[in-house]
Chains A and B, each alone.
Chain A
Amino acid sequence: MPTGSRALALLALLFGVPAARADASELSRQQPSPKAIPPSSGADPVVADLDRLDDPLRLEQQLRRLLTVAVADLRVTVPNGQARLGDFSVGSNETLAGNLLVLSGSADLFGKVTGNVVTLDGDIIMHEGAVVSGSALSIGGRIRELGGIVQGEQRALGAPPAAETAPAGALRLALTNAAGLLGVLLTLGLIGIGFVLFARPNLETISDTVGHSVFRSFLTGLLAQVLVIPTFGMLLAGLVLSVVGILLVPFVVLVVPLLFVAALVGGFLGVAHAMGETHLRRRMAAGVMVGSANSYRYLGLGLLGIGAVWLAWIAFGWVPVAGSLMFGAAFLATWLLATIGFGACLLSAAGIKPTFAGRYMPPEALTDEYLWATPQFGVTAMKRPEGSGPSRQ
């Protein structure tokens, strides 16, 4: 499958599936034909207790679960009362004893109900002369007072927000997280452009240190993370104890964290640069035409690669357990890269010293073939030996 088609298929999967599930959810809210709901029987009956209405959210969850089954299979027992599906009316000369539950419909009351009245996705309409001796709760609707009386409490919980349903919530979460990742990548990209424009040799040295001394950089970064806070504390304590140094404390408090952040960001960009460069050189070595290879491109590719680590979490972060695992994996990978970059930044003294950048080579390694394929800064180009090439004569 071509790359474009694969991308389209992925998009269809991401956005199509939630949309289809949303349609299914809407179906469950359609107005059904009015009918009585038979009581639940068996060893584990489904019971909707309407005697206490203190926790409408819990009751709503319970009632919405009931509606996930087919209408023909719908069963619920209302202690001291009855349940109805669809719109239901109590006539002006009627008295309904006990509690009344109306699912997916409104309760039009002209007569008397001696218990509590609860509707799900419907209104409670209190017409002239209607009396509810207990309390009234409308979930996903409202209580319309047209002259009737509710002697107990009145509660109306508005319709649940669309974002509450799982598919829409997942879509929102994915979009929000994608926007967040994009923002972070854009910010790092802009900082990276600044680095390349004004400090390219330093960035390249950090990048080479990452490429040549990965494990050493990681260990250095790890050790530095452990020691950074104690060192900072000792520095402050030393300044305070020296009395004269107290004046420097505000400066140190401001500057040291800034240096730490700069080293972290610079190191991270160095890692991105190294990743992009490695990837591009491999493609070039494979004979692929890649256009110009420069630091901007290395950085962009590297940042996209790091961003790709988070894609799985963005797409499926809403899945319970798996989403958390994906987040943990992406976080761990990013931390590893950041630690390597931080260590490389320290090892290379912010890209000034190329000691661990692998640029010093033994003289015997500097063969004609090597120098021809790899331009070296600071190494004088060798002259072709006399008589080894074709004569111009």
Chain B
Amino acid sequence: MTRHRERSDAISRLLRDLRSLAMTGVALTLLASPLAAQTIRDYEYSRPLRGEEQLRAIVEFGAGRLALRAGAGDHLYSLILRYDADRFRPIGSYNAAGAEVRLGVEGTGSGGIRVDSRRALPQTAVVELPTSVALSLDIRLGATESTLELGGLRISEFDLKTGASRTSVTFGSKNRESCRTASVTSGAGEITVMNAGNSGCRSWRFDGGVGAVTIDLGGAWPADARLSLNMALGGVTLQTPRDLGLKVRVGGFLAGFESSGFSKENGVYTSANYAAAARHIEVTVTSALGGVKVEWK
């Protein structure tokens, strides 16, 4: 009986000590948290429009949230950035001779072991580009959540490379520039392209890793176009208007294609409305284990 009481006393003493330690730990954590949030820093960078006619815009953003859209029209480019000053540094340089601007953030390379959580740091960037200048867009994203509203911009070339990101690309209105090519390389993320027809790009190329790609083929296609999908493991969904004719070639190891509504001839799937359609899209799918699905809308 005495031994049992001694054990109970020892446990209660230990629990009392642990409670004090836990309260101290909570206090230390609360003290540390607001200090950690102070590493966010602001950076703004812009240049007034002075009659430039073309611009190559390279946007690099390693982590955080990015919004890219058309600006008010008085700036050649504009960047409003909130960045983690411990791990990143802002990028902002303009080469007048080459008509090229670099915007975004790059890592400082100061890694090391961190005990505290960095998930809550709200690193954000807003990039605005002019509607009056022919743009060659080169966008490189890391672990980001990005919204690219490209409607209203004059895009002559479009190149997007994403890592483990969630990216939404929207062509809200018709591109007034003649777009040569559009290329999208996606790693392990999720990417959605809305109203691809408004881009006016006659040739689209998607290189996908393991993520999901959704392409809305709506919008005003200026001419027939080609779509090349090279997927490793990811799935592609083509959301297709009913007035668009599709011809799909599928190749690759264990590539899947949901062919309902298509007729097959010589290894080529052709949609039933192909002959009557005003615009035609030729889709070439090369995939290892990925699948392609067509959703008519």
Contacting pair A164 B42 (CB below 8 A): no
Instruction: List B contacts of A171 (CB < 8 A).
Output: 35
Q: Which of B18-72 contact A (CB under 8 A)?
A: 18, 21-22, 24-25, 28-29, 31-32, 35-36, 38-48, 50
Cross-interface CB contact of A156 among B14, B25, B44, B50, cutoff 8 Å: B44
4 nearest A-B pairs in the assembled complex, by CB-CB distance: A158-B42, A180-B115, A179-B28, A161-B38
* Any A CB within 8 A of the CB of B9: yes
Cross-interface CB contact of A153 among B39, B42, B94, cutoff 8 Å: B94
* Any B CB within 8 A of the CB of A115: no
A207 to B115, CA, bound (A): 30
Instruction: List B contacts of A296 (CB < 8 A).
Output: 10-11, 14
Report which B residues bind A (CB closer than 8 A). 6-7, 9-11, 14, 17-18, 21-22, 24-25, 28-29, 31-32, 35-36, 38-48, 50, 85-86, 89-90, 92-94, 115-116
Instruction: List B contacts of A155 (CB < 8 A).
Output: 43-45, 92
Closest B residue, CB atoms, query A189 = B18
**Beyond A56-B43, A157-B41, A176-B32, 4 extra complex contacts between A and B, CB < 8 Å:** A54-B93, A143-B44, A179-B29, A189-B21
A162 to B85, CA, bound (A): 11
Contacting pair B35 A182 (CB below 8 A): no
* Any B CB within 8 A of the CB of A154: yes
* Any B CB within 8 A of the CB of A30: no
Instruction: List B contacts of A322 (CB < 8 A).
Output: none
Given contacts A154-B44, A177-B115, contact A160 B85 (CB under 8 A): yes
Best-surrounded residue of A155, A160, A177 (most CB of chain B within 10 A): A155
Contacting pair B24 A158 (CB below 8 A): no
Closest A residue, CB atoms, query B40 = A161
Given contacts A160-B85, A161-B85, A162-B38, contact A178 B43 (CB under 8 A): no
Contacting pair A292 B32 (CB below 8 A): no
Instruction: List B contacts of A57 (CB < 8 A).
Output: 89-90
A161 to B121, CA, bound (A): 13
Contacting pair A175 B46 (CB below 8 A): no
Contacting pair B17 A163 (CB below 8 A): no
Best-surrounded residue of B85, B89, B94 (most CB of chain A within 10 A): B85
Can you name 27 A-B pairs with beta carbons within 8 Å? A54-B92, A143-B44, A153-B45, A155-B45, A155-B92, A158-B43, A159-B41, A160-B85, A161-B40, A163-B36, A163-B86, A171-B35, A175-B28, A175-B35, A176-B32, A178-B28, A179-B25, A179-B28, A180-B115, A182-B21, A182-B25, A186-B21, A190-B18, A193-B11, A292-B9, A294-B6, A300-B14
